[in-house]
Amino acid sequence: MKLGKIEIENPLILGPMAGVTDWAFRTVCAELGANMTVTEMVSSRALVYQDQKSRKLLKKNEGSICGAQIFGNDPAIMAQAAVMALEISGCDFLDINMGCPMPKIANSGDGSGLMRTPELAGDIVKAVVDAVDVPVTVKCRLGWDKGNINVLDFTKRMEDNGASMVTVHGRTRAMLYSGVAAWDYIRKVKEQLTIPVIANGDIVDTSSALRCLKWTGADGIMIGRATFGDPWIFEQVKAAMEGREIPERPPLKERIEVAVRQFELSETDHGEKIACLEARKHFAWYLRGVRNASYYKKEVSSLTTMADIYRVAKEIIRDLE
Protein backbone atom coordinates (compact mmCIF):
# COMPACT_ATOMS: atom_id res chain seq x y z
CA MET A 1 0.00 0.00 0.00
CA LYS A 2 1.12 3.53 -0.70
CA LEU A 3 0.19 6.41 1.59
CA GLY A 4 1.36 9.39 -0.40
CA LYS A 5 4.99 8.53 -1.06
CA ILE A 6 5.17 6.14 1.91
CA GLU A 7 5.29 2.43 1.07
CA ILE A 8 3.59 0.28 3.73
CA GLU A 9 3.49 -3.50 3.56
CA ASN A 10 0.51 -5.14 5.29
CA PRO A 11 -0.77 -2.03 7.13
CA LEU A 12 -1.51 -3.00 10.73
CA ILE A 13 -2.71 0.04 12.63
CA LEU A 14 -3.26 0.78 16.30
CA GLY A 15 -6.53 2.68 16.36
CA PRO A 16 -6.49 6.09 18.02
CA MET A 17 -8.41 5.99 21.30
CA ALA A 18 -8.81 8.93 23.66
CA GLY A 19 -7.30 8.24 27.06
CA VAL A 20 -5.58 5.05 25.88
CA THR A 21 -3.20 5.50 22.95
CA ASP A 22 -0.74 7.90 24.53
CA TRP A 23 2.93 7.99 23.51
CA ALA A 24 3.89 5.20 25.93
CA PHE A 25 1.28 2.71 24.76
CA ARG A 26 1.87 3.55 21.09
CA THR A 27 5.59 2.95 21.59
CA VAL A 28 4.98 -0.50 23.07
CA CYS A 29 2.52 -1.44 20.30
CA ALA A 30 4.96 -0.25 17.62
CA GLU A 31 7.66 -2.45 19.10
CA LEU A 32 5.30 -5.43 18.97
CA GLY A 33 4.24 -5.14 15.34
CA ALA A 34 1.94 -2.16 14.80
CA ASN A 35 3.53 -0.56 11.74
CA MET A 36 1.17 2.42 11.86
CA THR A 37 -0.02 4.37 14.90
CA VAL A 38 -2.15 7.47 15.42
CA THR A 39 -2.18 9.92 18.32
CA GLU A 40 -5.19 10.48 20.52
CA MET A 41 -7.59 12.92 18.87
CA VAL A 42 -6.89 16.59 19.53
CA SER A 43 -9.37 19.45 19.25
CA SER A 44 -8.51 21.81 16.40
CA ARG A 45 -9.84 24.78 18.37
CA ALA A 46 -7.80 23.82 21.43
CA LEU A 47 -4.66 23.73 19.30
CA VAL A 48 -5.34 27.08 17.69
CA TYR A 49 -6.03 28.56 21.13
CA GLN A 50 -2.64 27.24 22.31
CA ASP A 51 -3.93 24.72 24.85
CA GLN A 52 -0.82 23.08 26.30
CA LYS A 53 -2.49 19.79 27.27
CA SER A 54 -3.59 19.28 23.68
CA ARG A 55 -0.10 19.92 22.36
CA LYS A 56 1.32 17.23 24.65
CA LEU A 57 -1.00 14.60 23.17
CA LEU A 58 0.76 14.98 19.82
CA LYS A 59 4.09 13.43 20.76
CA LYS A 60 5.24 11.16 17.93
CA ASN A 61 6.32 7.65 18.84
CA GLU A 62 9.23 5.84 17.23
CA GLY A 63 9.09 2.46 15.53
CA SER A 64 6.09 3.03 13.28
CA ILE A 65 4.64 5.40 10.73
CA CYS A 66 2.80 7.81 13.01
CA GLY A 67 -0.13 10.10 12.30
CA ALA A 68 -1.48 13.08 14.21
CA GLN A 69 -5.27 13.08 14.58
CA ILE A 70 -7.37 16.23 14.93
CA PHE A 71 -11.10 16.89 15.02
CA GLY A 72 -13.34 19.89 14.41
CA ASN A 73 -15.98 21.26 12.06
CA ASP A 74 -14.56 24.55 10.76
CA PRO A 75 -12.44 24.19 7.59
CA ALA A 76 -10.27 27.23 8.28
CA ILE A 77 -9.56 26.28 11.89
CA MET A 78 -8.93 22.65 10.90
CA ALA A 79 -6.43 23.76 8.27
CA GLN A 80 -4.62 25.96 10.78
CA ALA A 81 -4.66 23.23 13.42
CA ALA A 82 -3.35 20.66 10.92
CA VAL A 83 -0.29 22.80 10.23
CA MET A 84 0.27 23.25 13.97
CA ALA A 85 -0.21 19.53 14.73
CA LEU A 86 2.45 18.59 12.19
CA GLU A 87 4.86 21.27 13.39
CA ILE A 88 4.45 20.09 16.99
CA SER A 89 4.61 16.36 16.31
CA GLY A 90 6.67 15.88 13.17
CA CYS A 91 4.19 13.14 12.27
CA ASP A 92 4.15 11.34 8.93
CA PHE A 93 0.50 11.98 8.07
CA LEU A 94 -2.51 13.94 9.30
CA ASP A 95 -5.69 12.06 10.23
CA ILE A 96 -9.10 13.71 10.52
CA ASN A 97 -11.51 12.17 13.01
CA MET A 98 -14.96 11.84 11.45
CA GLY A 99 -15.85 8.74 13.42
CA CYS A 100 -15.94 9.50 17.15
CA PRO A 101 -19.48 8.57 18.29
CA MET A 102 -19.43 10.06 21.77
CA PRO A 103 -22.37 12.47 22.29
CA LYS A 104 -20.21 15.38 23.49
CA ILE A 105 -18.26 15.23 20.22
CA ALA A 106 -20.81 14.02 17.67
CA ASN A 107 -23.72 16.20 18.83
CA SER A 108 -21.51 19.26 18.39
CA GLY A 109 -21.04 18.41 14.72
CA ASP A 110 -17.53 17.04 15.23
CA GLY A 111 -16.35 13.43 14.82
CA SER A 112 -19.13 11.25 13.41
CA GLY A 113 -21.39 14.31 13.48
CA LEU A 114 -19.70 15.31 10.24
CA MET A 115 -21.35 12.35 8.53
CA ARG A 116 -24.58 14.35 8.71
CA THR A 117 -22.90 17.22 6.83
CA PRO A 118 -20.92 15.51 4.06
CA GLU A 119 -20.43 18.69 2.03
CA LEU A 120 -18.83 20.38 5.05
CA ALA A 121 -16.72 17.28 5.67
CA GLY A 122 -15.46 17.47 2.10
CA ASP A 123 -14.63 21.16 2.52
CA ILE A 124 -12.64 20.31 5.66
CA VAL A 125 -10.60 17.65 3.85
CA LYS A 126 -9.87 20.00 0.96
CA ALA A 127 -8.82 22.80 3.31
CA VAL A 128 -6.48 20.51 5.24
CA VAL A 129 -5.03 18.91 2.10
CA ASP A 130 -4.29 22.37 0.71
CA ALA A 131 -2.63 23.42 3.98
CA VAL A 132 -0.18 20.56 4.59
CA ASP A 133 2.37 18.63 2.57
CA VAL A 134 1.83 15.18 4.10
CA PRO A 135 -0.91 12.65 3.30
CA VAL A 136 -4.32 13.47 4.82
CA THR A 137 -6.45 10.53 5.95
CA VAL A 138 -9.99 10.21 7.29
CA LYS A 139 -11.55 7.86 9.83
CA CYS A 140 -15.33 7.55 9.67
CA ARG A 141 -18.27 5.26 10.43
CA LEU A 142 -21.09 3.87 8.29
CA GLY A 143 -23.33 6.83 8.97
CA TRP A 144 -25.31 8.50 11.74
CA ASP A 145 -27.75 5.61 12.33
CA LYS A 146 -29.18 2.63 10.45
CA GLY A 147 -31.65 4.90 8.64
CA ASN A 148 -28.85 7.16 7.46
CA ILE A 149 -26.01 4.95 6.22
CA ASN A 150 -24.14 7.13 3.73
CA VAL A 151 -20.60 5.75 3.93
CA LEU A 152 -20.36 5.07 0.17
CA ASP A 153 -21.16 8.62 -0.91
CA PHE A 154 -19.25 10.02 2.06
CA THR A 155 -15.98 8.20 1.41
CA LYS A 156 -16.16 8.98 -2.33
CA ARG A 157 -16.44 12.65 -1.37
CA MET A 158 -13.39 12.27 0.87
CA GLU A 159 -11.38 10.82 -2.01
CA ASP A 160 -12.59 13.51 -4.43
CA ASN A 161 -11.41 16.21 -2.01
CA GLY A 162 -7.91 14.80 -1.71
CA ALA A 163 -7.90 12.24 1.10
CA SER A 164 -5.05 9.73 0.68
CA MET A 165 -6.70 6.94 2.72
CA VAL A 166 -9.93 6.23 4.57
CA THR A 167 -10.50 4.01 7.59
CA VAL A 168 -14.06 2.75 8.00
CA HIS A 169 -15.43 1.49 11.31
CA GLY A 170 -18.23 -0.91 10.44
CA ARG A 171 -20.76 0.59 12.84
CA THR A 172 -23.03 3.63 12.80
CA ARG A 173 -22.71 6.48 15.28
CA ALA A 174 -25.86 5.28 17.05
CA MET A 175 -24.37 1.82 17.63
CA LEU A 176 -21.39 3.24 19.54
CA TYR A 177 -19.45 -0.01 20.17
CA SER A 178 -22.41 -2.40 20.41
CA GLY A 179 -23.76 -4.89 17.92
CA VAL A 180 -21.80 -6.42 15.07
CA ALA A 181 -19.60 -4.45 12.70
CA ALA A 182 -20.96 -4.62 9.13
CA TRP A 183 -17.92 -5.52 7.05
CA ASP A 184 -20.09 -5.68 3.90
CA TYR A 185 -20.10 -1.89 3.73
CA ILE A 186 -16.32 -1.75 4.03
CA ARG A 187 -16.14 -4.15 1.11
CA LYS A 188 -18.36 -1.84 -0.96
CA VAL A 189 -16.22 1.16 -0.03
CA LYS A 190 -13.10 -0.70 -1.17
CA GLU A 191 -14.75 -1.62 -4.47
CA GLN A 192 -15.53 1.99 -5.35
CA LEU A 193 -12.39 3.85 -4.23
CA THR A 194 -8.90 4.00 -5.71
CA ILE A 195 -7.23 5.19 -2.49
CA PRO A 196 -6.36 2.69 0.27
CA VAL A 197 -9.17 1.54 2.55
CA ILE A 198 -8.55 0.32 6.11
CA ALA A 199 -11.06 -1.93 7.87
CA ASN A 200 -11.95 -1.38 11.53
CA GLY A 201 -14.39 -3.03 13.90
CA ASP A 202 -14.65 -6.49 15.53
CA ILE A 203 -11.04 -7.41 14.76
CA VAL A 204 -10.13 -9.17 17.99
CA ASP A 205 -7.66 -11.93 17.07
CA THR A 206 -5.79 -13.52 14.16
CA SER A 207 -8.78 -15.38 12.74
CA SER A 208 -11.06 -12.32 12.71
CA ALA A 209 -8.24 -10.25 11.18
CA LEU A 210 -7.78 -12.69 8.31
CA ARG A 211 -11.54 -13.07 7.79
CA CYS A 212 -11.97 -9.30 7.69
CA LEU A 213 -9.18 -8.86 5.15
CA LYS A 214 -10.51 -11.63 2.94
CA TRP A 215 -14.12 -10.48 3.08
CA THR A 216 -13.56 -6.74 2.66
CA GLY A 217 -10.54 -6.75 0.38
CA ALA A 218 -9.25 -3.89 2.53
CA ASP A 219 -5.66 -2.74 2.19
CA GLY A 220 -5.05 -3.11 5.92
CA ILE A 221 -6.70 -3.33 9.31
CA MET A 222 -7.00 -1.13 12.36
CA ILE A 223 -7.29 -2.72 15.79
CA GLY A 224 -8.74 -0.79 18.70
CA ARG A 225 -10.19 -2.14 21.94
CA ALA A 226 -8.70 -5.63 21.46
CA THR A 227 -5.29 -4.12 22.21
CA PHE A 228 -6.23 -3.25 25.81
CA GLY A 229 -3.67 -5.12 27.89
CA ASP A 230 -2.68 -7.15 24.84
CA PRO A 231 -0.23 -5.35 22.53
CA TRP A 232 0.99 -8.83 21.48
CA ILE A 233 -2.06 -9.05 19.22
CA PHE A 234 -0.03 -7.10 16.66
CA GLU A 235 2.84 -9.57 16.38
CA GLN A 236 0.30 -12.41 16.20
CA VAL A 237 -1.81 -10.77 13.49
CA LYS A 238 1.32 -9.69 11.62
CA ALA A 239 2.53 -13.30 11.54
CA ALA A 240 -0.88 -14.47 10.32
CA MET A 241 -0.95 -11.83 7.56
CA GLU A 242 2.50 -12.94 6.42
CA GLY A 243 1.62 -16.64 6.54
CA ARG A 244 4.06 -17.37 9.35
CA GLU A 245 3.55 -19.46 12.47
CA ILE A 246 1.59 -17.44 15.01
CA PRO A 247 3.60 -16.83 18.19
CA GLU A 248 2.09 -17.58 21.57
CA ARG A 249 1.47 -14.77 24.00
CA PRO A 250 4.50 -14.58 26.28
CA PRO A 251 4.29 -15.92 29.84
CA LEU A 252 2.88 -13.70 32.58
CA LYS A 253 6.31 -12.57 33.81
CA GLU A 254 7.20 -11.10 30.40
CA ARG A 255 3.77 -9.50 30.03
CA ILE A 256 4.10 -7.79 33.39
CA GLU A 257 7.60 -6.60 32.49
CA VAL A 258 6.21 -5.01 29.31
CA ALA A 259 3.45 -3.38 31.35
CA VAL A 260 6.00 -1.93 33.77
CA ARG A 261 8.08 -0.62 30.88
CA GLN A 262 4.99 1.09 29.48
CA PHE A 263 4.40 2.79 32.83
CA GLU A 264 8.05 3.87 32.96
CA LEU A 265 7.68 5.43 29.54
CA SER A 266 4.52 7.11 30.75
CA GLU A 267 6.42 8.54 33.72
CA THR A 268 9.03 10.10 31.43
CA ASP A 269 6.21 11.62 29.37
CA HIS A 270 3.66 12.69 31.98
CA GLY A 271 5.41 12.48 35.37
CA GLU A 272 4.79 10.01 38.18
CA LYS A 273 1.29 11.12 39.20
CA ILE A 274 -0.30 10.82 35.75
CA ALA A 275 1.69 7.67 34.98
CA CYS A 276 0.19 5.99 38.04
CA LEU A 277 -3.33 7.06 37.09
CA GLU A 278 -2.77 5.60 33.63
CA ALA A 279 -1.29 2.44 35.15
CA ARG A 280 -4.43 1.85 37.22
CA LYS A 281 -6.53 1.09 34.12
CA HIS A 282 -3.80 -0.39 31.91
CA PHE A 283 -2.50 -2.71 34.63
CA ALA A 284 -6.03 -4.05 35.18
CA TRP A 285 -6.25 -4.75 31.43
CA TYR A 286 -2.93 -6.59 31.48
CA LEU A 287 -4.38 -8.81 34.23
CA ARG A 288 -7.52 -9.76 32.30
CA GLY A 289 -7.81 -13.53 32.02
CA VAL A 290 -5.13 -14.16 34.64
CA ARG A 291 -6.33 -16.74 37.16
CA ASN A 292 -6.67 -15.63 40.79
CA ALA A 293 -5.85 -12.02 39.90
CA SER A 294 -8.82 -10.37 41.64
CA TYR A 295 -6.74 -9.31 44.65
CA TYR A 296 -4.17 -7.61 42.45
CA LYS A 297 -6.80 -5.94 40.27
CA LYS A 298 -7.93 -4.25 43.47
CA GLU A 299 -4.33 -3.40 44.38
CA VAL A 300 -3.62 -1.69 41.04
CA SER A 301 -6.72 0.47 41.41
CA SER A 302 -4.95 2.51 44.10
CA LEU A 303 -1.42 2.91 42.69
CA THR A 304 0.10 6.28 43.58
CA THR A 305 3.87 5.88 43.09
CA MET A 306 6.25 4.06 40.77
CA ALA A 307 7.41 2.18 43.87
CA ASP A 308 3.85 0.84 44.17
CA ILE A 309 3.99 -0.31 40.55
CA TYR A 310 7.30 -2.12 41.05
CA ARG A 311 6.06 -3.75 44.27
CA VAL A 312 2.77 -4.97 42.81
CA ALA A 313 4.49 -6.22 39.64
CA LYS A 314 6.96 -8.22 41.71
CA GLU A 315 4.16 -9.71 43.83
CA ILE A 316 2.10 -10.66 40.78
CA ILE A 317 5.05 -12.49 39.22
CA ARG A 318 5.78 -14.21 42.53
CA ASP A 319 2.21 -15.28 43.26
CA LEU A 320 0.54 -15.80 39.89
CA GLU A 321 3.31 -16.93 37.52
**How far apart are the C-alpha atoms of 294 and 304, rounded to whole Å?**
19
**How far apart are the C-alpha atoms of 164 and 2, rounded to whole Å?**
9
100 catalytically annotated: yes
Start-to-end CA span in the chain (Å): 41
Do the beta carbons of residue 159 and residue 126 sit within 8 Å? Answer: no
Pairing, β 220-223 against β 197-200: parallel
Residues 6+ apart with CB under 8 A from 318: none
Residues 6+ apart with CB under 8 A from 136: 82, 93, 94, 95, 96, 125, 128, 129, 162, 163, 164
* Catalytic position from the list 91, 100, 212, 276: 100
**Residue 305: φ, ψ to 5°:** -140, 160
Q: Show which residues are catalytic.
A: 100
